[in-house]
Amino acid sequence: MAKGFLCKLALVAVVIGLSAVLSVSSNSEGDALHAFRRSLSDPLNVLQSWDPTLVNPCTWFHITCNQDNRVTRIDLGNSNLSGSLVPELGRLEHLQYLELYKNRIGGSIPEEFGNLKSLISMDLYNNNITGEIPRSLGNLKSLVFLRLNNNSLTGQIPRELTKISNLKVSDVSNNDLCGTIPTTGPFERFPMTNFENNPRLRGPELQGGAAYDSGC
């Protein structure tokens, strides 16, 4: 009798534990997005539908999910948002399009964005982003479009970016970068206009010429 009761109790505990784990994992992308919402100021209320109590964020405006209810797209260009990016966004491992251009977002690009392994497009142009371009972005093997122009980025262009073989567009113009412009990998093909208006950025790196960090 006592044994049977203990058995049932153990079973109930396992079921409760399992459902807690499942609900946490299904909502973790919503939690990451909600952390982002909390860091933003949203005068036009474009994030009003972002209700963290829903099972997933797939019905929220400006969010797109795949058939497995994983977030694939954030569309918040031109939305008058200010505030900053958050490391939690790095958890969105199915995210393909991060569209946050033409806002007034400040702060730096979190290191954790290097975990966005499905990312195709990172559009952060026309914001007020500061700090350095993280080296970890070199891990984004799916990346095709990297538009960081018209911000206040400093430091060098990380050489890790030359290893992203799919990269078709990389625009870092109108920032405050320094050092030299890489010339290998996809950087062989980028026009010089994608680097202009960085007063401390030197011309293309030549064999044995200017050092990688010259002017920094």
Ligand X SMILES: *[C@@H]1O[C@H](CO)[C@@H](O)[C@H](O)[C@H]1NC(C)=O
**Binding footprint of ligand X on the chain (CB under 6 A):** 43-44, 80, 104, 126, 128, 150, 174, 197
Decide if 178 contacts 213 (C-beta within 8 A). Answer: yes
Q: Please state the closest distance from residue 192 (CB atom) to ligand X, in A.
A: 15
Structure tokens at 128: 């007020």
Nearer to ligand X, 127 or 162 (CB): 127
Q: Please state the closest distance from residue 171 (CB atom) to ligand X, in A.
A: 9
Task: Please state the separation of Cα 3 from the chain's center in Å.
Answer: 53
Burial code (b: 16+ CB inside 10 Å, e: under 16) for 62-91 equals bbebeeeebbbbbbbbebebbbbbbebbbb
Q: Please name the residue that has the structure tokens 């975990």.
A: 115
Nearer to ligand X, 82 or 183 (CB): 82
Nearer to ligand X, 56 or 127 (CB): 127
Q: Please state the closest distance from residue 60 (CB atom) to ligand X, in A.
A: 21
Q: Please state the closest distance from residue 149 (CB atom) to ligand X, in A.
A: 6
**Residue 5 CB-density burial (10 A; 0-12 exposed, 13-18 middle, 19+ buried):** exposed
Nearer to ligand X, 20 or 44 (CB): 44
